[in-house]
Structure 1
Amino acid sequence: MSSVAMIQGVNPIVAMPFTAQGEVDFTSFRRLVAHLSGLGVNGLTLFGIASEFPKLDDGERLQLAEIYLDELSGKRLFRALSITDHSTDLAVRRARLYQSMGADALMLLPPFFLQPSLAAVQAHISAVLEAVTIPVMVQYAPGETGFPVTPHQLAEVAKRYPHAVFKIECNPPVDYTREFLQQAPDAHVLNGYAGLYMLHMLDVGGKGVMPGCSFSEIYVRIYRHWLAGEHQQAVQLHNALLPYIQRWMQHCEYIIQIEKTILQRRGIIADDYCRKPGWQLADEDLKTIDSFISQFNLSV
């Protein structure tokens, strides 16, 4: 199996635990990574949007990357690190660093600060892809970046770079993905967006889902049902999850805080602090979280 083909199934984005004082909680981070690696997920990614990457300094990021790669060394899952720099020069430098540190794959959030031209964004993506040999998951998240790319433009990247993987997060993503795969049938597609469209994306040719990490076992169960051809069971479980994630995905900071609070309620991390600016949960949110944990029988 090629390194690109290994990137499939359930691949959560690792949350970032902080202490109540806002410092990185490395003890909780190690406990979280160990917990996730034992759930049957296919891979993990660090420094995605759900990792609160804009709220980390470079020293913290490097230390976390080292711990993450070391803690998961020898595990039967791929370890990805996200490249989020808006400077092409820095993105290339960081991509090479992460590859040299032993990352199995990268995720690339294209630059959008100050609205670079399409040509500049394309050059950025190409520069990172040409800088490394490991798979690179190119994110398409126009809701978060405000930067639209057509399926044809994305297909051109797929045709040129066989080690590119595509994380498609437009809302909704299904028609876009179908058109993209018609133009680049060999392309490898994943979907994030809390798995809202998980089953539809698998049905049109997607290879996996990249949700948050606080209830990863639910996505693993859905995916295993789907793989086994037990589509009715997959749909039933996904339908039970949908009302929660539809509500929580109203805003990125909302679901980031929800996921963090679920992890804290489950005893996996010590505190649910998110670095500011963030999202303040209401009492009703906390009641919903407790009902959710009880309904799905989530424990450590």
Structure 2
Amino acid sequence: MTFPTPMTGVVPPVCTPLTPDNEVDTASLTRLVDHLVAGGVDALFVLGSSSEAAYLPDRFRRTVVDTVVRHVAGQLPVLAGTIDMSTWRVLDHAEAAVAAGADALVATAPFYTRTHPAEIARHFRAIAGRTGVPVFAYDLPVSVHTKLDAELVLELAAEGVLAGLKDSSGDDGGLRRVVLEARNRADVTGFSVLTGSEVTADSALAMGADGVVPGLGNVDPEGYVRLYRYSRDGDRERARAEQERLCALFGMVRAGDPARMGGSSSALGAFKAALHLRGVIACPATAYPQIPLSADEVERVGKYLAAAGLS
């Protein structure tokens, strides 16, 4: 399909359902895709953070991309995460995703080793040059330990290397700088700025972001679609009210006991528990070594769903 430039709207990072014996549950994955498409989303982002990409072996990654691309069959663009430590490993993921039919790629800066901005630039240029499909930079300093510099992102956008930025940095000032400069620079065209925040999406959209990539959008795609439309139409009051409802729903990410599990286990476990309770996926299992939610914690997730009108 022709990839939209700029990419706009709601682009959920699709969760990866697993079976009780730790394989990709392709039947649940296709049901989740149907759930998201029916919710009115504008594109799908597989193998992002909410997809548990960091935990999945390469064969799982290939299965996810192949399953989603074949099932979507061109209805919506599919962006595939190629997140890995080094350029060569990212290129392996990128080539596999493009061969499977992904419409665009999403990559972080390299990580584990300390990386200079010149090396980050070489990294993104290599991905774009090797694959020939749109590439989105994923700014995720909490995991990558490198904050993507706005000027570097815009330089790569002007070169045609980057088609967009998925900003999960939590730096609203930096996000605004990219939005403003991308709008005002004549050499930057068709560039998308997407926020990865579930709880400040209305603010990002109000300042000019093109779309939102919310993990919670797996659970409530319709809510984020409403939020985006209200924001696009300039209805600030409805956008604020919808955002506040989604902020309350997002409280489910704290359902897990922090004394026995990390934040990832709690948040991703909550998203999957909610999808299981909603009848979308067959099993709420998260990837090893994450710790599963207890029955009491799953019940707590259910209360968040009920409060949001999703039970």
Normalised by the length of structure 1, the TM-score is: 0.90
Which among 227, 236, 249 is matched to residue 231 of structure 1?
236
Letter of the structure 1 residue corresponding to residue 212 of structure 2: V
* Alignment partners' CA distance in 1, 2:18 and 2:179: 40
- Higher RCO (Cα < 8 Å, 6 or more apart): 1
How many angstroms apart in 1 are the aligned matches of 2:40 and 2:285?
27
For 1:287 and 1:151, how far apart are their aligned partners in 2?
A: 42
- With over 3 angstroms needed to count, the CA separation of the structure-2 counterparts of 1:154 and 1:162, relative to structure 1, is closer
User: Matched residue of 1:69: which SS?
Assistant: helix
Select between 93-102 and 251-260 the one with higher mean Cα deviation: 93-102
Cα distance in 2 for residues equivalent to 1:223 and 1:199: 8
Q: Which moved more, 1:247-256 or 1:235-244?
A: 247-256
Distance in 2, matches of 1:7 and 1:25, equals 29
C-alpha deviations, 1:168-226, integer Å up to 9, x for none?
Answer: 1111x321111223333244200113x22201111111000001112222111211222
Deviates more, 1:278-287 or 1:95-104: 278-287
Question: Is structure 2 residue 283 aligned with structure 1 residue 271?
Answer: yes
Q: Matched residues in 1 for 2:109 and 2:238: separation?
A: 37
Instruction: Look up the SS of the partner of 1:18 in the other structure.
Output: coil
Q: After alignment, is 17-26 or 238-247 more displaced?
A: 238-247
Q: Which residue of 1 aligns with 2:72?
A: 72
Tell me by how many angstroms 1:148 deviates. 2.0
Give SS of 1:51's match.
Answer: coil
> 1:166 matched to which residue of 2?
165
Q: 1:247 Cα deviation (Å)? A: 6.6
Counterpart check, 1:115 vs 2:127: no
State the partner residue of 1:253: 265
Please give the per-residue CA displacement for 1:23-51, whole angstroms capped at 9, x wherever unaligned. 22122112112221221100001110111
Q: Which residue identity does 1:218 align to in structure 2? A: G
Give the equivalent residue in structure 2 for 1:189.
193
Between 1:146-155 and 1:269-278, the stretch displaced more is: 146-155
1:27 counterpart residue number: 27
SS of aligned partner of 2:166: strand
> 2:48: which partner in 1?
48
Q: Which runs of 5+ in 1 are unaligned?
A: none
TM-superposed deviation, 1:157: 1.7
1:146 positional shift:
1.2
Task: Tell me whether 280-289 or 83-92 shows the greater mean CA deviation.
Answer: 280-289
Which amino acid is the alignment partner of residue 202 of structure 1? L
Taking the aligned partners of 1:296 and 1:3, their CA distance within structure 2 comes to 34
Retained in 2: the 8 A contact 1:45–1:80?
yes
| Equivalent residue number for residue 297 of structure 1 | 309
2:13 is paired with a residue whose SS is: coil
Q: Which amino acid aligns with 2:248?
A: P
Correspondence for 1:59: 59
Q: Using the alignment, how far apart are the partners of 1:20 and 1:10 within structure 2?
A: 30
Change (3 A) 1:215 1:280: same
**Equivalent residue of 2:102, what SS?**
coil
Cα separation, 2, equivalents of 1:175 and 1:4: 26
Does structure 1 retain, via aligned residues, the 8 Å contact 2:157–2:163? yes
Distance 1:242 1:220 in 2: 15
Shift of 1:270: 0.9
C-alpha offsets along residues 120-169 of structure 1, whole Å, 9 cap, x if unaligned?
22211111122233221110111121112322222222222265210111
Contact 1:134 1:163 in 2 (8 A): no
Amino acid at match of 2:151: H
Matching residue of 1:180: 178
- The CA distance in 2 between the partners of 1:221 and 1:188, in whole Å, is 20
Q: Tell me by how many angstroms 1:11 deviates.
A: 0.5
User: C-alpha separation between the residues in 1 aligned to 2:74 and 2:178?
Assistant: 35
Indicate the larger mover: 108-117 or 281-290: 281-290
Deviations 1:48-67 (A, max 9, x none): 01111122222222222111
Q: Quick one: distance in 1 between partners of 2:51 and 2:239? A: 27
Alpha-carbon deviation of 1:284?
A: 6.2
Q: Could you tell me which runs of 5 or more consecutive residues in structure 2 were left unpaired when the two chains were aligned.
A: 255-261
| Matches for 1:194-205 after TM superposition, within 5 Å | 195-205=198-208
**Which residue identity lines up with residue 239 of structure 1 in the other structure?**
E
2 CA distance for matches of 1:205 and 1:39? 23
Give the Cα separation in 2 of the matches to 1:261 and 1:179.
Answer: 37
Structure 2 Cα separation of the partners of residues 52 and 134 of structure 1: 23
| Partner residue, 2:126 | 127
SS at match of 1:50: coil
What letter matches 2:180 in structure 1? Q
2:257 corresponding residue in structure 1: none
Counterparts of 1:163 and 1:145 in 2: how far apart (Å)? Answer: 18
